[in-house]
Amino acid sequence: MKLKDLLETNIAEFAEYPLLFYKEKTFTNVETKQYADQFASGIRNLGIARGDRVIVCMPNCPEVLFAYQGITRAGATIVPVMFTLHPKEIHYIARNSGAKAVITSSTIRINVEKSLDGLPEKPQLIVVDRPSDDRAKNFYDLLMPANDLIEDEGDADEIAVILYTSGTTGNPKGVLLTHKNLYSNAENSAKHNQTERGTTLGVLPLAHVYGLTISNICFLTGSSIVVFSSFNTKEVFKAIETYKVKTFSAVPAMIHALVSYPQADLYNTTSLESVGSGSAPLPVALLHAFEQKFGAKVYEGYGLSEAAPVVTAHCKGIDIKPGSVGIPIPGVELKIVDVNGGEVPAGEVGELIVRGENITPGYYQNADETNRVLKDSWLFTGDMARIDDEGYVYIVDRKKDVIIRGGFNVYPRDVEEILNGHEQVVEAAVVGVPDERLGEELVACVVIKPGSDVTENELITYCQDHLAKNKTPQRIIFLEALPRNGVGKILKMHLRKQALETVIKP
């Protein structure tokens, strides 16, 4: 099955119904297909051919989904790009992908135009919400009758999406995802979660693989989606009340915002049964706080772009184990291995490796990185994990984030969970900095509650009361907020730099 088949099957099975709610507008599934077909004809007329890359870089809006479906119908490849990126980052992606067109909105057009400066060949700029001018074409002006559109009939193993990683350790890598990768993962995720038809919230960026997969699941299940251009706590509560939302997917930063919202009690959230959490580790204290406040389950899961993305998840019918990311979804096989690639016993920590129909064939024009992470059909995730006797997976930390203090491995998440449990702490992240005596030393970056007067020494003592001595941070840095990327993942590279400047420099 190809991505276009998601919408074809949706219409055949569920007939016409309201698919997208956006501000005051409503679009049905049939209207979505009409726009997609017409846009496919339009970009074919521009010269976009099979296999050409088309960047989609703008906040969530219906046109993102129209464009995705249109691009795939034209046989081209979707390149989703977070609109929050710096022009230099967008420039790199445009150059590396050789994009033939960029679809954006007026709110970020200036940044996008800056990003295209200096490219050997400038892509065609398409703007969704402004008239055509001498530098850009309007999205709707491009729409052409789809009667003569010959849809691309390539097979499901062809590349559907190139998804660039966040680039926390250098230039981003373009993860190749086939139609089969994305379709099978959406199908198996829906099966695992026993996803029912209903209305959900599109609060995740559609430029991120997590948000893209949620939209694909909506096609499969005949669900509707309330599209948010940005996460707005008040509007989320209003939407839950208005549409009687039973479940939606979010990241921990969003879950924290909902728990902390002072006017949450003004809204009727009794319809809410569960929230899926992914993209970043969910503090156990936050999981308990959400469930206590709203009486809804939090189903934490785990995935990564290279797995299209879902690997494991909690779901109905199985116990929730706080701190765990659940069990493998159907179609996914996994193991925990040591440095030599040998499988380790249950309960022991090693690197998580994964295989299945959802696994990327590699990175765009990057054979070295492809060969590094893909071995005998297994994806080496770079995440340290353990599996218990019942098959539940626990992500311990990123392999590159493990701190080696005095020859002993310290997993930052162990320390973060303790700090997150302190009544005066909002959130915490732990990083390592160079130390002449021990090799590395622990520094905790902490956000405390407004008005709190908790001190560094008090938090260090608190850690000493709950952790082994070698896991206790040497220093605590107080911050107003932790730096995050567009999907709420904490940017530890930025924190390491800040910790070095604070701890090492006089």
Domains and CATH numbers, the chain: 3-12+27-172 (3.40.50.980), 231-398 (3.40.50.12780), 403-504 (3.30.300.30)
C-alpha 73/C-alpha 50 separation (Å) is: 10
Strands across the sheet containing 25-28: 25-28, 18-22, 224-227, 199-202
Taking only the tens of pLDDT, the chain with its 506 residues reads 899 999 999 999 999 999 999 999 999 999 999 999 999 999 999 999 999 999 999 999 999 999 999 999 999 999 999 999 889 999 999 999 999 999 999 999 999 999 999 999 999 999 999 999 999 999 999 999 887 666 656 789 999 999 998 755 568 899 999 999 999 999 999 999 999 999 999 999 999 999 999 999 999 999 999 999 999 999 999 999 999 999 999 999 899 999 999 999 999 999 999 999 998 889 999 999 999 999 999 999 999 999 999 999 999 999 999 999 999 999 999 999 999 999 999 999 999 999 999 999 999 999 999 999 999 999 999 999 999 999 999 999 888 889 989 888 899 999 999 999 999 999 999 999 988 888 899 999 999 999 999 999 999 999 999 998 889 999 999 999 999 988 888 999 899 999 988 876 54
Burial (CB < 10 A; 0-12, 13-18, 19+), residue 330, is exposed
In sequence order, the β-bridge partners of residue 395 are: 385
Under 8 Å between Cβ of 237 and 261? yes
- Whole-model pTM: value is 0.90
Among 165, 184, 204, CA closest to 79: 165
DSSP string, 380-398: EEEEEEEE-TTS-EEEEEE
The SS3 call for residue 179 is helix
* 494: number of Cβ within 10 Å: 17
